A and B are shown apart, each in its own frame.
Chain A
């Protein structure tokens, strides 16, 4: 009897599924290939960019970040700021629903901000609540956020503070770091359908999304463990888009049928740098804090740093290391950051003769005739240790090229890769190195990059060069509180100019993001903007199936 019933049910189910498939039209499923899945679905704990990509799709935050770097309100209709700049009052939209049908109110927002503020074991999101005093919701459509000082970049602080449903998270306020959040109830344009760690994430479109639904029905992110496999996956059409491909595969993929390669600035500001240890012994962190300060004294001389800058052929580095997919690096703020990037700086031109002249004039002669210049007092040769983290793919080739370029000006290098954490402990705040090849990935707001060369960051370990300049420090504090946008931009520009002119860093290049998509499946990918992030919600909301 039971078995019969089961058969009947199975047949009904089969008929139903057949009807469903035929009647409603095939759902449009976007398949995206990437080489890493999110590290965690709990927004408080994530490190990887892949995690944030998923959060952007499933959650709302107060602001959305556009591809041009501007922000727009998402769940609020309007915002008013008090005269002292310390109280923000948001009018929250009505009628928004969580994915489980519960109403979304200002109370959820207040709860989320308070949670981020209280969880100091949330590695990155907690830091955005630095100036928050309180966030309260006097009613369901009003959120009042109070700060301890006026700050110019509230948008970039709120953009990653994803709003969490209080009715789910309130049970975890004391141990939020242990909550795996596999259901991922959010209010964003996509809903969690299925998650298999390190295999795939399947998201379905939230048809009730407050500002209109996406045109596709489903988005699947699938992990492929090597970039070569990603390239093969898009060639054979098993995925519709890949978020990254090795620079070496670009040419091969350009000739593939129905595949378009897109190139643009990376979504998250990403800088690559040659780090010059120039710490003044007076600024060396105390021994108890780990200060060693063994840097080569010549690097404290600006003339030597200038000579290194003039002797660096950035075009060649880009051609060889990045196979042409990069732009020459100029400032601490990469050129993909729009108005924040100081486009007026004129870079040091590649000129070996000039570099040699600078060193000659400053007294760095080759005293013993071994082909290597020596300190003016003859005490030691200009031989610099050059280190980089073992995880870096580009650094070994760069080290080789820099060795050749700087040999032309009588400077030799002792190149050595060091395991990342070991290098961190040599680097900062120990300052136990001469030169390093490394980089930073930063926030949409320039403040996180600009803080790095500040004097008070030497002891915390972020000021990796040991650079110290009172004028820079002053500007750094000012830009952090300047509410007039135009004035702040001006300060940010001046700071970049100072870092460039003092050769605090040599920025060899800015990376380009390279992605590829199938032209025979979906149209409307946003590949013409300054920044390129086809996996971002901006593209996924607008693409539609090819007819």
Chain B
């Protein structure tokens, strides 16, 4: 049955590939001009640039271009149209050339993706750990001062506008001497490895903190309410009656069951945050995927956006697949079908 799941995932990705391609052909934008009108640009140059990006070929049979819609010949060789050239290249791992950077899209995205994974990896782990711990305490000490404090701070953290929190942290952190942005202090590549690692941690600190605060609140609230539900079950009462310690009840009986809703949220978040840390990446000049998407929208760098969207779609689909599998591991009653 796992095979069926994988089949659906592949089908969805294929659908995204097609949708993505046509979506960006409908949008306005001309790589030969980049929104710049320049009296130095001659018509021959504009045409030469179009040829370089393969835009001189018809989009697909019967259509020259989609914006504006220009009907073309239906008799052209399908393999010589932009669509099939794109699909063919994609199969070879070639996502096209970025209009803006004039570099292969997969190279640009590859560098950026690892930076984002580093940031959200650190942030998610911290957010999950802290969220689960605080949620656990809040639920166990329900309706005490501890619970209320956790509840209110969780709500506040969850509802804070990300960019606002990030800017406040930035001003606070840089006055404390933390680096203001980027992933590394420029010019340190010849330093010893440990120095570079320390430098990376310094740069990671503020964006990770912002990320952790934003997501921790959400995880804590979900953990708390789901644990409260579980703790009201009869089997917990039975466990208490058996004389088990609080720690044992939480660890062996309550925690695993109350994790189920959290797993879903984490999986969905993981998929989306690959793109969704745009605000944090922008404020802290973090060279990640979110920042790349944000910049590319302004630059109308469609091949890059097309690649980024595909990457995000794959991440979301993968995260969901993993969530399904984890679910059945945590709760054997759930079958992957």
Q: Is the CB of B45 within 8 A of A200?
A: no
Q: Is the CB of A122 within 8 A of B171?
A: no
* Contacting residue for A224 out of B100, B108, B171, B285, CB 8 A: B285
Closest to B50 in A: A121
- For window 11-29 of A, CB contacts with B under 8 Å fall at 14, 17, 29
Contacts of B287 in A (CB 8 A): 196-199
* Contacting residue for A420 out of B35, B51, B100, CB 8 A: B35
Q: Is the interface of B mostly helix, strand, loop or mixed?
A: loop
In whole angstroms, what is the CA distance A461 to B28 when docked? 18
Q: Is the CB of A124 within 8 A of B38?
A: yes
Q: Is the CB of B28 within 8 A of A422?
A: yes
Check B298 for interface membership: any CB of A closer than 8 A. Answer: yes
Please report the total number of A residues contacting B with Cβ < 8 Å. Answer: 61
* Contacting residue for B42 out of A127, A193, A222, CB 8 A: A127
In whole angstroms, what is the CA distance A39 to B35 when docked? 15
In whole angstroms, what is the CA distance A144 to B175 when docked? 58
Check B143 for interface membership: any CB of A closer than 8 A. Answer: no
Check B167 for interface membership: any CB of A closer than 8 A. Answer: yes
Check A86 for interface membership: any CB of B closer than 8 A. Answer: no
Q: Is the CB of B180 within 8 A of A236?
A: yes
Please report the total number of B residues contacting A with Cβ < 8 Å. Answer: 53
In whole angstroms, what is the CA distance A461 to B41 when docked? 11
Q: Is the CB of A236 within 8 A of B175?
A: yes
Q: Is the CB of A197 within 8 A of B187?
A: no
Contacts of B184 in A (CB 8 A): 196, 199
- For window 25-78 of B, CB contacts with A under 8 Å fall at 28-30, 32-45, 48-49, 51-52
Closest to B30 in A: A421
In whole angstroms, what is the CA distance A232 to B173 when docked? 11
Beyond A194-B187, A202-B187, A461-B37, is A127–B45 a contact (Cβ under 8 Å)?
Answer: yes
Contacts of B40 in A (CB 8 A): 124, 127-128, 443, 448
A44 CB → nearest B CB, Å: 9
Check B181 for interface membership: any CB of A closer than 8 A. Answer: yes
Check B224 for interface membership: any CB of A closer than 8 A. Answer: no
Contacts of B181 in A (CB 8 A): 222, 224-225, 229, 233
Beyond A223-B182, A421-B28, A462-B37, is A238–B101 a contact (Cβ under 8 Å)?
Answer: no
Beyond A39-B100, A39-B101, is A223–B285 a contact (Cβ under 8 Å)?
Answer: yes
Check A148 for interface membership: any CB of B closer than 8 A. Answer: no
Beyond A121-B48, A225-B283, is A462–B182 a contact (Cβ under 8 Å)?
Answer: no
Beyond A127-B41, A448-B39, is A120–B48 a contact (Cβ under 8 Å)?
Answer: yes
Contacts of A460 in B (CB 8 A): 43
Check A523 for interface membership: any CB of B closer than 8 A. Answer: no
Contacts of B51 in A (CB 8 A): 121
- For window 254-309 of B, CB contacts with A under 8 Å fall at 281-283, 285, 287, 291-292, 295, 298, 300
In whole angstroms, what is the CA distance A456 to B134 when docked? 73
* Contacting residue for A199 out of B186, B283, B300, CB 8 A: B186
Contacts of B42 in A (CB 8 A): 120, 127
Q: List 25 A-B contacts (CB under 8 A).
A: A39-B100, A47-B36, A121-B51, A123-B32, A127-B40, A127-B41, A180-B103, A194-B187, A196-B186, A197-B287, A198-B295, A199-B184, A199-B186, A223-B182, A225-B282, A225-B283, A225-B285, A226-B282, A232-B180, A236-B180, A238-B179, A391-B298, A422-B28, A424-B30, A440-B37
Please report A residues at the B interface, Cβ cutoff 8 Å: 14, 17, 29, 31, 39-40, 42, 45, 47, 120-124, 126-128, 177-178, 180, 193-194, 196-202, 218, 220, 222-226, 228-229, 232-233, 236, 238, 389, 391, 419-422, 424-425, 427-428, 440, 443, 448, 451-452, 457, 460-462
